Amino acid sequence: MTVEVALSLMAGARVDHLVLCDGDDQSTGLISLARLAVLSGSPAYTDRIRLRDVLGGPLA
């Protein structure tokens, strides 16, 4: 999923965090709306950045 799609999904669902899961429904990460908003406003942002590229690691 791209960052743009995640931002749109989160806005529509009115949530502050998104839990990401793999094909086996295992949690692989958690990303906040604030973190995505900062990323989308940075000069390094492109519409090709995917959530897996910005995750800090698996959930503890």
Using only C-alpha atoms, what is the Rg of the chain? 11
Burial class (CB within 10 angstroms; exposed 0-12, middle 13-18, buried 19+) of 36: buried
Contact at 8 Å (CB) between 33 and 39? no
Q: What pLDDT does 60 receive?
A: 33
DSSP state of 5: H
Q: 3-60: per-residue pLDDT in tens?
A: 999 999 999 999 999 998 888 888 888 899 998 988 888 888 888 888 888 875 443 3
